[in-house]
Amino acid sequence: EVQLVESGGGLVQPGGSLRLSCAASGFTFSAHWMNWVRQGPGKGLVWVSSIRSDGGDTRYADSVKGRFAISRDNAKNTLYLQMNSLGVEDTAVYYCTSNVNDWNAYWGQGTLVTVSS
Amino acid sequence: DVVMTQSPLSLPVTLGQPASISCRSSQSLLHSDGYSYLNWFHQRPGQSPRRLIYKVSNRDSGVPDRFSGSGSGTDFTLKISRVEAEDVGIYYCMQGAQWPPTFGQGTKVEIK
């Protein structure tokens, strides 16, 4: 059974930083692109970032470029999202997803990031 | 960016009756590899999204066959042949043909 388990969310002040993690199991993690997708309160789904299977290609939404960094450790089957210079607009549930046979085949349960003073 | 436009945004349905959601893209989703990268997702209240359909018309494992996807180019449709109570929630289309991947606004399906 595929499992994606996010952690690292919480309350942070504007301008602060957080590092999200996503532990993957049940599939060959090192063979697939991985993504972060977020959903603001009462809002729709928004793609944030993606990373290629070997970590050699990373992509970012314009809204987070220069502030967020995606990475992965294939030995630990873990995906990361380092988030810096957080603003209130970054408040959302952050989902880890995997591209197994096309985009966003599997989703984690999400981790809530709240940016507030 | 490719803009994905869903309609309707709200869809009251009767149990046992069919339902249909439209998704239009601002550019063709036909990739140079010959596939159209259009996916459908369902999100029940308080839950994570779940993928239902990938590459326009392929049902994911465990997805009931009352769900079907169709379309090409810029015009796509998700159909539910007979709505059941568990089908309530928000449905999203998403394109992965061009960077950045983009989602539609979502269609809220509720029982009349």
At B34 the pLDDT is 94
d(CA B15, nearest CA chain A) in Å: 25
DSSP B81: S
Beta bridge partners of residue A71, listed in sequence order: A80
From B38, B30, B33, B112, select the one nearest B77 (Cα to Cα).
B38
Residue A26, token pair as written in the block:
């049940």
Per-residue pLDDT reduced to its tens digit, B8-59: 999 999 999 999 999 999 999 999 999 999 999 999 999 999 999 999 999 9
Best mutation target among B37, B42, B51 (most A Cβ atoms within 10 Å) is B51
Rounded Cα distance between B49 and B93, Å, is: 11
The yes-or-no verdict on residue B95 having pLDDT over 90 is yes
**Secondary structure of residue A81 in the 3-state scheme:** strand
Residue A82, token pair as written in the block:
């380092």
Per-residue pLDDT reduced to its tens digit, A25-64: 999 999 999 999 999 999 999 999 999 999 999 999 999 9
**Contact residues, chain B, for A108 at CB < 8 Å:** 48
Which residues lie closer than 8 Å to A56 by C-beta, 6 or more apart? none
Identify the residue with better confidence: A102 or A72.
Answer: A72
The phi-psi region of residue A9 (left if phi > 0; otherwise alpha if psi is between -120 and 50; otherwise beta) is beta
Largest CA-CA distance found in chain A, in angstroms, rounded: 41
> Which of B39, B100, B106 faces A44 most closely, judged by CB atoms?
B106
The yes-or-no verdict on residue A101 having pLDDT over 90 is no
d(CA B102, nearest CA chain A) in Å: 7
At A23 the pLDDT is 98
The yes-or-no verdict on residue B104 having pLDDT over 90 is yes
- The reply to whether residue A46 touches residue B50, judged by beta carbons under 8 angstroms, is no
